[in-house]
Copies of this chain bind each other. A is one copy, B any other.
Amino acid sequence: MRNGLIGIGVVGYGYWGPNLVRNFGAVEGAQVIAICDMDATKLALGKRRHPDVLVTNEFQDLLKDKRIDAIAIATPVHTHFELALATVKAGKHIFVEKPLARTSEQVRRLIEEAERRKLILMVDHTFLYTPAVQKIRDLIVGGTLGDVYYYNGIRASLGLFQSDVSVIWDLAVHDISIIQHILPEKPVAVSATGANHVAGTPDNMAHIALFFQSSCIAHISVNWLSPVKVRQTLIGGSRKMIVYDDMEATEKIKVYDRGITVTSSAESAHQLRIGYRAGDMWAPHLPAKEALQTEAEHFVECLHSGASPMSDGVSGLQVVEILEAASRSITAQGNPVRLSHKLRAVS
């Protein structure tokens, strides 16, 4: 840290990298020092937008640069582990695009290496930093929803087929990170199905069910081959229910005072009577702040304070473990896979 400024290096200047550069560049107390990419065209674009930032196609340049305190990685998933490990070994903090790595073993290794050196390791689970998800979490934690009955998410679009990971590592990762952030309990098993429609490529659509100890059930549908973009989630609770539509410009969250009431019947204690409640709907105003800005500020604050980030290595690990289990279940056409609790604790 020079002059109190956190120096940042960004690796990967494709789809997401430019957003990282722009947002870290706007954080008070931080400065983007260098951009690294193997593609000369992308580097030229970065230079044109940010004439005072160093651009290079050598990752080593970033590792050696004393001005750089932390490296943000926005490269293809299969490269995360190697780049992140080298970063940590070079004594620099690390911010990694989701998912944190390709396997839970890799993630565990990264966590250990970072902890040993007292370095910050943060995974970019962007949605956790959106005003919408923060409001949903508040509504659940504060008891407004009552017991959570289900989470039903759909994330579909005519998306970029990735060559190294299936659609669940690209899209379901968002919902899984949200679920573990907002729900009070951890899933105990997963059943998933999927399909690919281009022979020789990873699955481009999938459905994942997560089971919990309680009667709560979460379900995620993801699809790279949808004619329309869908980002819709229903969350049902015993007291209130939420429709969260991320495609809405302003009313992303609608809270419904609807549901059922269960009472024992007068005639017989064994018979249940179900009543229906149809009340008002309420859409809380949400601030317009860009999630990635909040997230970049949070990372820089953690570097200053030494606090553990909200989306730290352990939360990244839990997500990857669920993705691994889901991948195994898909191969077995839905056969459920247990999620061992001990697996999700870092020794």
- In chain B, what residue has the closest Cβ to A147? B197
Residues from chain B with Cβ under 8 Å of A201 in the complex = 272, 274
Q: Is the CB of A200 within 8 A of B329?
A: no
A140: Cβ under 8 A from any B Cβ: no
Q: Is the CB of B234 within 8 A of A226?
A: yes
Number of copies: 4
A193: Cβ under 8 A from any B Cβ: yes
Task: Say yes or no: A260-B334 contact (C-beta < 8 A), given A274-B198, A276-B158, A285-B278.
Answer: no
Interface string of A215-230 (1 = CB under 8 A from B): 1110101010111110
Residues from chain B with Cβ under 8 Å of A219 in the complex = 193, 207, 221
Bound CA span A343–B228, Å: 38
| Interface positions of A from 7 to 52, Cβ below 8 Å from B | 51-52
Bound CA span A179–B283, Å: 27
Question: Quick one: which of B52, B195, B332, B334 contacts A215, CB cutoff 8 A?
Answer: B195
Q: Is the CB of A243 within 8 A of B227?
A: yes
| Interface positions of A from 214 to 255, Cβ below 8 Å from B | 215-217, 219, 221, 223, 225-229, 234, 236, 238, 241-243, 247, 249-251, 254
Q: Is the CB of B227 within 8 A of A150?
A: no
Q: Is the CB of A209 within 8 A of B193?
A: yes
- In chain B, what residue has the closest Cβ to A154? B154
Interface string of A133-156 (1 = CB under 8 A from B): 000000000000000011010101
Distance to closest chain B CB from A36 (angstroms): 21
Bound CA span A243–B219, Å: 21
Residues from chain B with Cβ under 8 Å of A258 in the complex = 158, 227
Residues from chain B with Cβ under 8 Å of A207 in the complex = 207, 209, 219
A196: Cβ under 8 A from any B Cβ: yes
Residues from chain B with Cβ under 8 Å of A223 in the complex = 150, 152, 234, 236
A281: Cβ under 8 A from any B Cβ: yes
A59: Cβ under 8 A from any B Cβ: no
- In chain B, what residue has the closest Cβ to A329? B334
Task: Say yes or no: A284-B280 contact (C-beta < 8 A), given A198-B262, A226-B241, A260-B198.
Answer: yes
Q: Which 9 pairs across A and B sit closest by C-beta, in order of nearness? A: A191-B334, A227-B256, A227-B241, A334-B334, A193-B209, A281-B283, A195-B217, A333-B336, A149-B197
Q: List 23 A-B pairs, Cβ < 8 Å.
A: A149-B225, A150-B195, A156-B234, A158-B260, A158-B278, A191-B191, A191-B334, A198-B272, A200-B272, A211-B333, A221-B221, A223-B234, A226-B241, A227-B243, A227-B258, A227-B259, A247-B249, A280-B284, A281-B283, A282-B282, A333-B336, A334-B334, A334-B336
> Given A201-B272, A225-B241, A334-B334, 12 more contacts at CB 8 Å?
A51-B51, A149-B225, A193-B209, A195-B216, A197-B236, A209-B334, A211-B333, A225-B259, A226-B236, A227-B259, A247-B249, A281-B283
What residues make up the interface of A, taking CB atoms closer than 8 Å to B? Answer: 51-52, 149-150, 152, 154, 156, 158, 161, 189, 191-198, 200-201, 205, 207, 209, 211, 215-217, 219, 221, 223, 225-229, 234, 236, 238, 241-243, 247, 249-251, 254, 256-260, 262, 272, 274, 276, 278-285, 329, 332-336
